[in-house]
Structure 1
């Protein structure tokens, strides 16, 4: 028996039957997660946010084991009621090794800088996690010793398809495992909410985790295995859980300064990628190969190269280009990121000002449509910058200022989704394509949580929406001046400090 002391869960113990997990922890692929921060650039705002994907992954495996143990304890009670729940629990417990390995390795392919790098190249980390399990020899050997030649592929399937489209046709154990690892009520969220709250010092993400686990239930609804909660015990803790998620997104994950740093990093990666594709970035680094699209998860040698990407290797790249790069745009973006000068955000309201969100032909770098008010602001800012010629943008061309000096950020997250009030597409009954958290009574009969909780009826399907315009830090005063003119719908200044939009 071996143990690791965790600041959140205290002792994480590897009993003899789960000893293979400690062998997975010892593999270089998993040890790499020591060098991947869980919250990316959030330490710009919350200095304590230095915890890693390594610690989070241990926590997720620990919680998965606690859930499995809880279900095992209640099997006797389930035999006297809820045959669907009993079937799902028994099938899940038969997949104990798959469940624990998938929980531990769910982030083994995660890239540096949280999701900023992932968003820049549109490469989901789930795909790379599955690729590591399939092609990394050390990981495969441990899994094969623990569960035979089939175990690596069983784990990889769970990791690459956390939300299976054909969930209604899956075996009960596999469907239950997917829901426990990736759903609205999963062990991944349970760990990162309380861990991120603890490490940032923000108290919004705290809830009664032991009671939530105690209240979990499995059942079959419309032919689909669903993770839910005991109706008598779980409604209040569900409310706490989803409110914690709401506040963590509002105050931590979507913090204005954190988003400004992430957008700056994303712009830096996008510029480096464009230069690399054109042959203008000759630095021979795994990061450049990744940005260029040269690394493919189906090639073991590329997976090995990808695993050399860490926060430290990206920061080394940033340090090098800020000092030696000939491209003034990339050098400026790198210098701002290195010196903690995130882009400045201006809140865009949805009602009561000119920020109406009708679609308009211009596209954002990510391909989304840009609102007219942002285009108006960007053009006004561009005209003024071309007139003033600030030294910090020396060497920047007009299209580069438009592309990298200003950005529009639209974020939407729904803390609790439930399609009970909009029964699927074309009026179809609830099924695999629909999102619910259910509560089960003593006979195993299910009801959507939204129907039982008055609080979640208010929160259901209500997006947390933030619209912001971001500019390079030194352009803050000018941006505020232009934005206030637009908000007042007045004629933009021209001539001495005025701009024509």
Structure 2
């Protein structure tokens, strides 16, 4: 029997709090789960620094990746026998679902911004590089690693396969919304996934939803909307992300200035030099980063030491609503006042903005992830979701942006009460 068709002697299951069980029968999938590159995802949190806000949010990219695989497994089971579904692409879908987040680094997006990296590039490099994952995929077929990379990179020829993992209603979102809601303890992210899976149909190069399932899809769209504003963009989480970014910027600044660290930051050197290898990238996980932060708490540099103490001990920055587009003069004045007060504004004053577009209809020239959700009517016609749903129409195409100003309130409080600088800073911050 060819490796791609090989089955385990008995089904393996992972007990899962969201899907109850994750089922594995394919030898290829079982072998991929066992690779060092996939096991590394146990050491990368799914929600980065959100555990500072929601203490239950300690779940990992490993949990999520298994969950996305399980949803895809159920979808392709339901699709079997449909005229527009090619069962030859089943293993490709399962592999891409399992590996779609393989390239995430420690604290994911915050880490990427500081070092100008893209986890999708690293996902591709792991799949196509000299790795255990690549060797397993090669056993399926010489072109199989490239196919998996193309699905995840959204360049694969069959857009239907891509849409299962990356679209406005995909397995990735369906898992992370429910999983993140479960572990944060909020009620927003729950929706009737079983209903959605029952009404999904493959049609030509896209997945469509039977019109009878529209209300379940509305619930899913609104769940996503609420999760972004109540969980993913929570200002306390964003405060911790600001401090995390400042730590990494400060450490890189010191390194480039030939600062003598108490412990040589070996794991960061290639990142500070802006030329990390795949091997270096895979060695750096959140446990390693936190080890350095613990060490840096006692560094001689007061800024690095202070920032690490803040992060490790959850002594976060305060925040206010602040729109830099409308309050630019105040921003410049605050920057000047902080400097005069001896508080470095580069590390203790930051404007952070978040924005989200919860659902969009198709706009020519925009990325394919914004292809609309189509409903299949009883007569076989396709109708775009926001044209049929008043709820979705109300938020469709509407980008919402939120701005916050983060600052070290304790440093301001530590200034002399009769200081004119302190009075003016508080005047601006307190409006």
| In 1: Cα distance, 2:256 partner to 2:374 partner | 48
| In 1: Cα distance, 2:189 partner to 2:320 partner | 26
Find 2:288's aligned residue among 308, 313, 324.
313
Secondary structure of 2:80 counterpart: helix
TM-superposed deviation, 1:387: 4.6
Find 1:132's aligned residue among 126, 137, 145.
126
> Which shifted more, 308-317 or 331-340?
331-340
Map 1:462-473 to 2 at 5 A. Answer: 462-473=398-409
The answer to whether the 8 Å contact 1:347/1:467 transfers is: yes
Residue of structure 2 in register with 1:149 after alignment: 142
Secondary structure of 1:455 counterpart: helix
Find 1:5's aligned residue among 2, 15, 27.
15
> Is 1:439 aligned to residue 423 of structure 2?
no
The answer to whether the 8 Å contact 1:204/1:247 transfers is: yes
Structure 2 residues not aligned, in runs of 5+: 1-10
Structure 2 CA distance for partners of 1:495 and 1:210, relative to 1, 3 Å: closer
> Is 1:117 aligned to residue 111 of structure 2?
yes
Query: TM-score, normalised to structure 1's length?
Result: 0.77
TM-superposed deviation, 1:95: 1.2
Find 2:187's aligned residue among 203, 219, 222.
203
Residue of structure 1 in register with 2:325 after alignment: 371
Map 1:13-162 to 2 at 5 A. Answer: 13-15=23-25, 18-72=26-80, 75=82, 86-87=83-84, 89-90=85-86, 93-145=87-139, 147-159=140-152, 161-162=153-154
Deviations 1:75-105 (A, max 9, x none): 2xxxxxxxxxx33x22xx3211111111101
Query: TM-score, normalised to structure 2's length?
Result: 0.89
Paired residue total: 413
TM-superposed deviation, 1:67: 0.7
| In 2: Cα distance, 1:323 partner to 1:273 partner | 17
Structure 1 residues not aligned, in runs of 5+: 76-85, 165-169, 296-301, 349-354, 356-369, 394-400, 482-492
Map 1:193-272 to 2 at 5 A. Answer: 193-220=177-204, 225-231=205-211, 233-272=212-251
Deviations 1:420-452 (A, max 9, x none): xxx535xxxx99586311112245432110101
| In 2: Cα distance, 1:140 partner to 1:334 partner | 37
| In 1: Cα distance, 2:247 partner to 2:71 partner | 37
| In 1: Cα distance, 2:172 partner to 2:330 partner | 40
| In 2: Cα distance, 1:495 partner to 1:101 partner | 59
Structure 2 CA distance for partners of 1:150 and 1:52, relative to 1, 3 Å: same
TM-superposed deviation, 1:55: 0.8
Residue of structure 2 in register with 1:178 after alignment: 162
The answer to whether the 8 Å contact 1:250/1:464 transfers is: no
The answer to whether the 8 Å contact 1:342/1:473 transfers is: no
Secondary structure of 1:94 counterpart: helix
| In 1: Cα distance, 2:247 partner to 2:89 partner | 43
| In 1: Cα distance, 2:409 partner to 2:60 partner | 28
Find 2:254's aligned residue among 253, 261, 275.
275
| In 1: Cα distance, 2:308 partner to 2:273 partner | 18
Secondary structure of 1:329 counterpart: helix
